[in-house]
């Protein structure tokens, strides 16, 4: 459910409510709005319009042949006629039709559901928790942006005070950190510490999980185990026992083995777009274009492929799809080790197109 709705959307929602086609969340929101009508501080019509709206509702009920309980016919108190569920539902559309222009500001104020981010401030720390079922955007005091996943929480000193910008994460989040070389940005989880000066990366470290991972979208990221971490380390001067990550790379920490594995991310993104149409071009040129586009290292025997050419066009395939096509054309294969792609080929053994 959106935090705000337009007037037209609200009318359509009430119609769906009447037709029994609301989702449970929409139905609950409409019923919360109904409840506001009976609260002393809830939505009220101006006195001169109250009787007109009430008369319109009763006229609508009569023309629709909706059964009205006897006690409700007799007692036409502004709150009493909302007590019967049938009347509450039926009257809603009339209320909108007659007086929505008068009530709409109050409807919007009372419509918003509970905030998807729960914020608490205590003992000099701010904690933000995503209580919704969707990722939510959070802006930090230094203007860094965080996409916080459902059930995840982020805790940090109020105003991110201190010589280092330190945040503590439980769960999963995507960070877009504002650059400030003088104040490194550190993300603490239960198992690892990630340090950047300003870049984009993802951290996934749920409570009691067997693994934690850090993947990089752009820039450089230093990762180390939290136990015995060197908090003065940075991507420019990483810790001796840490891992330095570049775009499209990730580090996976195994709690059982207490060590990192450096890998390529599952779907490397294009970092520098390249032309991918090759007509009788050297294989080395094709591989160089892939390396530049995705920021990856492709290791191969240059002497073996020195005189090999290929005609191939890549479209929207992911990196590994492109490699599959190239290897099929060359009769080659590839493997991945320590975030590098290893191309295995015996030379120019071109395979006829099928």
Residue 281 DSSP code? E
pLDDT per residue rounded down to tens, the chain (354 residues): 444 555 556 666 666 666 667 777 777 676 666 555 444 444 444 443 444 444 544 454 444 454 444 444 434 444 444 445 445 555 554 454 444 454 445 555 555 556 899 999 999 999 999 999 999 999 999 999 999 999 999 999 999 988 999 999 999 999 999 999 999 999 999 999 999 999 999 999 999 899 999 999 999 999 999 999 999 999 999 999 899 999 999 999 999 999 999 999 999 999 999 999 999 999 999 999 999 999 999 999 999 999 999 999 999 999 999 999 999 999 999 999 999 999 999 988 655 544
| Domain annotation covers residue 351 | no
155 shares its domain with 192: yes
Longest dimension (CA), the chain: 98
- Domain range for 313: 277-344
Question: What is the C-alpha separation between 173 and 188, in angstroms, rounded?
Answer: 12
Q: What pLDDT does residue 26 have?
A: 72
Instruction: Please give the tally of structural domains in the chain.
Output: 3
- Residues with Cβ within 8 Å of 211's Cβ and at least 6 positions away in sequence, in order, are 252, 253, 254, 255
3-state secondary structure of 344: strand
Q: Which helix (H) or strand (E) holds 108?
A: helix 85-111
- Computed over its alpha carbons, how large is the radius of gyration of the chain? 31
Provide the CB-side half-sphere exposure for 126 (13 A, CA).
16
What is the pLDDT, as a whole number, of residue 24?
Answer: 74
pLDDT at 104: 47
**Do residue 103 and residue 134 come from a single domain?**
no
Task: Give the pLDDT of residue 293.
Answer: 97
pLDDT for res 73: 41
Q: Are residues 141 and 81 in the same domain?
A: no
Q: Is the pTM of this model over 0.75?
A: no
d(CA 316, CA 84): 59
Tell how far CA 59 is from the center of its chain: 48
* Confidence at residue 25, expressed as pLDDT on a 0 to 100 scale: 73
- Assigned domain for 272 exists: no
Inside any domain, residue 269: no
Residue with tokens 């603490």: 188
At 289, which CATH number? 3.55.50.30
């Amino acid at each position: 459910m959106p935090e705000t709705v337009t007037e037209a959307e609200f009318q359509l929602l009430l119609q769906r409510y009447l037709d029994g086609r609301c989702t449970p969340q929409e139905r609950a929101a409409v019923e919360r709005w109904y409840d506001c009508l009976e609260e002393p501080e809830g939505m009220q019509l101006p006195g001169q319009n109250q009787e007109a709206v009430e008369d319109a509702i009763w006229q609508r009920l009569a023309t629709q042949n909706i059964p009205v309980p006897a006690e409700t016919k007799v007692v036409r108190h502004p709150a009493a006629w909302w007590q019967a569920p049938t009347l509450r539902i039926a009257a809603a559309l009339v209320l909108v039709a007659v007086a929505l222009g008068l009530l709409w500001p109050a409807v919007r104020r009372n419509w918003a559901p509970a905030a998807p981010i729960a914020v608490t401030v205590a003992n000099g720390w701010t904690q933000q928790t995503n209580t919704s079922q969707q990722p939510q955007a959070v802006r930090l005091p230094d203007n860094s942006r965080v996409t916080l996943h459902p059930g995840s929480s982020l805790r940090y000193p109020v105003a991110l005070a201190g010589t280092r910008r330190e945040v503590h994460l439980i769960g999963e989040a995507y960070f877009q950190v504002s650059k400030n070389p003088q104040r490194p940005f550190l993300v603490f989880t239960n198992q690892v510490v990630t340090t950047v000066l300003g870049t984009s990366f993802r951290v996934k470290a749920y409570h009691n999980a067997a693994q934690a991972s850090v993947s990089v979208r752009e820039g450089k990221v230093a990762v180390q185990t939290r136990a015995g971490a060197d908090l003065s380390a940075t991507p420019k001067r990483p810790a001796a026992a840490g891992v330095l990550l570049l775009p499209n790379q990730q580090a996976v920490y195994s709690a059982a083995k207490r060590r990192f594995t450096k890998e390529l991310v599952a779907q490397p993104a294009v970092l520098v777009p390249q032309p991918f149409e090759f007509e009788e071009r050297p294989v080395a040129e094709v591989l160089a274009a892939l390396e530049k586009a995705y920021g990856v290292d492709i290791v191969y025997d240059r002497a073996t492929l020195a005189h090999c050419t290929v005609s191939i066009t890549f479209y929207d395939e992911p990196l590994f799809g492109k490699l599959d096509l190239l290897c099929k054309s060359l009769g080659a294969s590839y493997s991945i080790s320590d975030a590098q792609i290893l191309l295995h080929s015996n030379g120019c053994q071109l395979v006829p197109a099928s």
